[in-house]
Amino acid sequence: MNYDKIYATRTSRIKASAIRELLKLAANPNLISLGGGLPSPDSFPLNLVTELTEKILTKYGSTALQYDTTEGFMPLRKGLVDYLQNYGIRAGLENIYISSGSQGFLDQIGKLLISPGDYVAVEGPTYLAALQAFNAYEAEYAQIETDDEGLIPESMEEIINNYPIKFIYTVPTFQNPTGKTVGLKRREQIAEIILKYDMLLVEDDPYGALRYKGETLPTIQSMAPDNVVYASTFSKIFAPGLRVGFFVAPEKFARWMVLVKQGVDLNTSTYTQAMAAEYLLGGYIPAQVNKIINIYKPKLVTMLDALAYYFPEGYKWSKPDGGMFLWVEGPKGIDMEEVYKKSIERGVGFVPGKFFFPNPEDGIETMRLNFTNVSEEEIKSAVKILAEVAKEQLEILV
Ligand SMILES: Cc1ncc(COP(=O)(O)O)c(C=O)c1O
């Protein structure tokens, strides 16, 4: 059968994920992969999951195995009302909904808002799988400029003035891929701008809880709750295999989000939502997040030290206060895909940064490094090898 003739036109915009391809390489036991974005399996609370499995079956019985409302498992939604207050999120039960991971949320919002050719404003670089989700709905992109502090509000305003933007998508805290965080003043500016133009902003925040230093910043949602849809997930504070995410939205908007989800999966797994509910209601999150931070923070420090020690002049990198990634920029003229090919030969993987830009000419000289799913020893040897290849590329350049 010739399947090519029956695929929908929108599939021409869906490309294989470079990260998925790289993860395949990570299956090679000799490769040190700084490429994927996986939490450390050492952080997964296996014993607690055994305990909670028992508990949800006793407490909820067959309800945990039944279909449930599309809005989400009620004990979980109720638990999130209090939990989210710690993050300055202004939300009642009518504003909190469950999604199948925050990835499911991104697909839902794309389905609800994007008609073919509609513009979405995104940071350059941005989260690759958000682009993939929106590509399926045939989005166009307007790229907001960024600097060391992430999204530049003035650039966002210029984009709003120059493109017919449907909504803005941003990851303002420990961004994937750069690890950068938008500061308080900029958050206030961003909130002011979206209110001024009556614009919707999607605040994607999977990493906010993984802060290794500094003070928690207020969410943009807390500054403009009627113009922001906030999304987060249990993937980084519990385990991604549960596929439980959640979002906070004005009630009238959320009603539509629920309708578009119905056609996809009816509801997010009741069983794993019950697991997430007991994890939350049992008060396990603070200790578990602490454990995760204690695993990740030394890895980040090791990576930053190794970069400073091994990398040649002309390269710079972000210095994140949290999250799972950092971002290296080489001098103009360096092609990180070349560096990638050579470093793979020497047993080190990463993601060339250009994949994270909607504009394919951008980010040629950049790379994303993940530090959570490798040991400190591996980080040191991987960065040393990367630095050698980076040095060789510099020499070719001169
Ligand atoms: C910025 C961002 N958004 C969303 C997701 C999706 O997370 P999940 O679907 O596991 O909740 C990720 C995962 O890496 C991410 O980095």
pLDDT band at 240 (very low <50, low <70, confident <90, very high): very high
pLDDT tier at 195, thresholds 50, 70, 90: very high
* Domain residue extents for the chain: 3-44+287-397, 66-284
* CA 3 to ligand 1 center in whole angstroms: 31
How many Å lie between the centroid of ligand 1 and the Cα of residue 12? 24
Q: Which of 302, 325, 316 is nearest to 382 (CA)?
A: 302
Which three-class secondary structure string do you get for 160-222? HHHCCEEEEEECCCCCCCCCCCCCHHHHHHHHHHHHHHCCCEEEECCCCCCECCCCCCCCCCC
Measured from the CA of 106, which atom of ligand 1 is nearest? Answer: 4
Q: Show the ligand 1 pocket: residues with CB < 6 angstroms.
A: 37, 101-103, 127, 171, 176, 204, 206, 233, 235, 240, 245
Task: Report the separation in Å between the CA atom of 127 and the middle of ligand 1, taken as the mean of its atom positions.
Answer: 8
Q: How much is the pLDDT for 10? A: 83
- 211 vs 22, residue with greater confidence: 211
Q: What is the predicted pLDDT for the residue at 37?
A: 87
Q: What is the pLDDT of residue 396?
A: 78
Coil/strand/helix, residue 311: coil
Q: Is 55 buried (19+), middle (13-18) or exposed (0-12) by CB count in 10 A?
A: middle
Q: What is the pLDDT of residue 359?
A: 87
Residues 75-103: pLDDT tens digits? Answer: 999 999 999 988 889 899 999 999 999 99
Contact 249, 95 (CB under 8 A): yes
User: Which of 19, 23, 99, 176 for a ligand 1 pocket mutation test, highest count of atoms within 8 Å of Cβ?
Assistant: 176
Q: Compute the distance between CA of residue 126 and CA of residue 357 in angstroms, rounded to an integer.
A: 6
Centroid of chain to Cα 341: 25
Residue of 127, 181, 230 to mutate, ligand 1, most atoms within 8 A of C-beta: 127
What's the CA-to-centroid distance between 287 and ligand 1, angstroms? 22
pLDDT of 14 > 80? The answer is no
Q: Does 27 score more than 70 pLDDT?
A: no
* pTM exceeding 0.85: yes
Kindly indicate whether the domain formed by 3-44+287-397 is annotated with CATH number 3.90.1150.10: yes
- Give, as one character, the DSSP assignment of residue 24: H
For ligand 1, what atom is nearest to the CA of residue 324? 16
pLDDT, tens digit, 9 for 90 and up, residues 30-77: 889 998 889 999 999 999 999 999 999 999 999 999 999 999 999 999
Distance 341 CA to ligand 1 centre (A): 26
Indicate whether 360 pLDDT > 90.
Answer: no
DSSP-assigned letter for residue 395: H
What's the gap in Å between 7 CA and the centre of ligand 1? 27
CATH placement of domain 66-284 = 3.40.640.10
Distance 170 CA to ligand 1 centre (A): 12
Residue 395: the pLDDT is 82
Report which protein residue has its CA nearest ligand 1's atom 7.
Answer: 102
Report the pLDDT averaged over residues 156-182.
98
Ligand 1 centroid distance, CA of 230 (Å): 13
Predicted confidence (pLDDT) at residue 304 exceeds the cutoff of 90: yes
As a whole number, mean pLDDT of residues 271-296 equals 97
Residue 353, pLDDT > 60, answer yes
Nearest ligand 1 atom, CA 235: 10
Give the H/E segment covering residue 90: none
Query: What confidence category does residue 23 fall into, taking pLDDT thresholds of 50, 70 and 90?
Result: low
Is the pLDDT reported for residue 252 higher than 60? Answer: yes
B/e letters for 237-273, b = 16+ CB within 10 Å, e = fewer, are: bbbbebbbbbbbbbeebbeebbebbeeeeebbbbbbb
Q: Where are the alpha helices (DSSP H) in the chain?
A: 18-26, 46-60, 74-85, 101-113, 128-135, 153-162, 184-197, 251-265, 270-281, 285-310, 336-345, 376-397
102: CA distance to ligand 1 center in Å? 6
pLDDT tens readout for residues 104-123: 999 999 999 999 999 999 99
Report the nearest atom of ligand 1 relative to the CA of 245.
11
Give the residue, out of 233, 246, 272, 326, with the most ligand 1 atoms within 8 A of its beta carbon, to mutate for a pocket test.
Answer: 233
Q: What is the atom index within ligand 1 of the atom nearest the CA of 100?
A: 9
| pLDDT band (50, 70, 90) for residue 397 | confident
